[in-house]
Amino acid sequence: MTKKITLGDKTFRVMIPAEEIDQAVTRVAEQLNKRYEGKTPIFLGVLSGSFLFLADLVRKVDFNSQMAFVKISSYSGTESTGKVTQGLGIDFDIEGRDIIIVEDIVETGHSMTYLLDYLKAKNPASISICTLFFKPEKFLYEYEIDYTALSIGNEFIVGYGLDYNQLGRNLKDIYVIDE
């Protein structure tokens, strides 16, 4: 029997167990280890959703790194508003540095495009995009997502940092709405 939970007014069932997430994070860390060996990139975590993914990811890489955080949002409930808002920014110079954006999920790409434009204006040496989840069917842009842990369909998911109205971020598994 599939494990179910209730968050607010919705019921969710397990879609991706914690073990599968951990294996995907390990795969991404191995790819990053090859690319950034001998370098000291900056991991830029997109709050709030990426915090668990980022924490697990940086513990699996072998190179030195720094961390910074940015808070951007385009969601209300289960739907993207299409409008990106920024709450925090980078408070130090990133010119000439390698940046790894760590995101929980890339869907339409609106938030990522906003962030890429913001970062490019600060003249980093390189920018890589690393996401836990990618929804290729919803993605509206032409640029590459450099590192994807897992590609999924158009389901609304919660857990492992992702939320439904600020609930469910602490769950170790990924859940999908049970309809």
Q: Tell me the torsion sign for CA atoms 51, 53, 58, 59.
A: positive
Give the total number of structural domains in the chain.
1
Q: Which two tokens stand for residue 125?
A: 């040496």
Q: Which residue range(s) make up the domain with 106?
A: 18-152
Give the CATH number of the domain where residue 66 resides.
3.40.50.2020
Is there a domain that residue 7 lies in?
no
pTM above the 0.85 mark?
Answer: yes
- The H or E element that residue 28 is part of is helix 18-36
Cβ proximity of 97 and 90 under 8 Å:
no
Per-residue pLDDT of the chain (179 residues; tens, 9 = 90+): 678 999 999 999 999 999 999 999 999 999 999 999 999 999 999 998 999 999 999 999 999 999 999 987 655 455 555 565 555 567 678 999 999 999 999 999 988 998 999 899 999 999 999 999 999 999 999 999 999 999 999 999 999 999 999 999 999 999 999 97
147 three-state secondary structure: strand
Cα 84 to chain centroid, rounded = 15
